[in-house]
A and B are shown apart, each in its own frame.
Chain A
Amino acid sequence: MLATIVDWAALGTVILYSFAGALLLTGLFTTGVLFIEGNGGRASPARRAAGALCLALCLALVAFGIYAMFTTK
């Protein structure tokens, strides 16, 4: 009965987006933090730039998600 009344495609999309979104956001943030913090000492400028890029991508992803929500009502 459930097979016919539940929109499994929509539910599957929610599951897929949830895993992808959470993994991407936390992955980018963690990578950015690890690059910027360095390991024991101060990170090199290149690593700091890479870290900043990861954090900026993380922010851009959130901003894009919010934009997509507002424009696809």
Chain B
Amino acid sequence: MTIDGLIGKVLVPSVVAPVLALAVAASVTFLVYRRIQRRDPEQIMRSFRIGQVASASLVALAHGTNDAQKTMGVIVLALVANGNLSAGASVPAWVIVAAATAISLGTYVGGWRIIRTLGHRITKIETPQGFAAETSSAVVILAASQAGYPVSTTHVTSGAVLGAGLGKRAADVRWGIAGQMATAWVLTIPAAALVAGAFYFLTEQIGTEIAGPLVVSILAILAAATLFVQAHRSSPVSAKDV
């Protein structure tokens, strides 16, 4: 991919998608609250809770159509580059299963800290806001997937949650947390590029046959495990905190 392709097909959509999710979620939340404001909150919340299960499922589907495809794309690219797969061949079943398993496992083990930030720390989310944010995220990600744009589910969902906070009158949005989040968005892309570059350099130094990839894989697993254990030891977050 050329630098033009990288900017046009990856960077610009990556920046536009969270802002779009914010605008869509703010509009949708505003309209939903305008319509339900004179109704019994208890009754309405119960129905929106059911709607939220459906909209969350739609986000999971959208997540699979975009984030999982990126994971598979990187694996297939490596297989083609190494000559294990011919260019234009379909994605092997084991790659699909491996990507789905890894993403499901990550979803299972890593959630509560992010759930707390999105559900409580940016703004206190009520059920109709959650429904609006999830529906907006899902639609933005599905539309981006259909157009062939790789976007981040995390970034899009965070933008939508911020939008759901802005769309409800008198909702308290903590701009400090939102700013930290935006900084993290900006830093993750160059940080990922740096780590990938460092790992590539290390692989070249050790040997590109078996030793290099093996050492780098072990290092990557150790680093991920250390971060995971550190996060759980220093300030564990569980379902009770959400």
Contact = CB atoms under 8 A, between A and B. Distances in A.
A72 B65 CA distance: 14
A22 B12 contact: no
A24 to B, nearest CB: 9
A26 B65 CA distance: 21
Contacts of B38: 39
Given A5-B4, A6-B12, A40-B40, A23 B143 contact: no
Contacts of B12: 2, 6, 11
Contacts of A22: 24-25, 27-28, 132, 135-136, 139-140
B51 A29 contact: yes
Contact of B16 (A11, A13, A26): A11
A14 to B, nearest CB: 5
B104 interface: no
Contact of A14 (B28, B31, B36, B144): B144
B216 interface: no
B48 A33 contact: yes
B36 A30 contact: yes
B142 interface: yes
A37 B39 contact: yes
B143 A14 contact: yes
Interface string B12-39: 1100100011011101100110011011
A62 interface: yes
Contacts of B148: 10
B208 interface: no
A66 interface: yes
Interface of A: 2, 5-7, 10-11, 13-15, 17-19, 21-23, 25-27, 29-31, 33-34, 36-37, 39-40, 62, 65-66, 68-69, 72
26 contacts: A2-B8, A2-B12, A10-B149, A13-B147, A14-B143, A14-B149, A15-B20, A18-B140, A19-B23, A21-B139, A21-B142, A22-B132, A22-B136, A23-B27, A23-B28, A23-B31, A26-B32, A26-B132, A29-B51, A30-B32, A37-B40, A37-B43, A37-B44, A65-B142, A69-B65, A72-B146
Given A13-B143, A18-B20, A22-B139, 17 more contacts: A5-B5, A10-B149, A11-B16, A14-B146, A14-B147, A19-B24, A22-B135, A22-B136, A30-B31, A30-B32, A30-B36, A33-B51, A36-B47, A39-B39, A62-B58, A68-B146, A72-B146
Interface of B: 4-5, 7-9, 12-13, 16, 20-21, 23-25, 27-28, 31-32, 35-36, 38-40, 43-44, 47-48, 51, 58, 61, 65, 131-132, 135-136, 139-140, 142-149
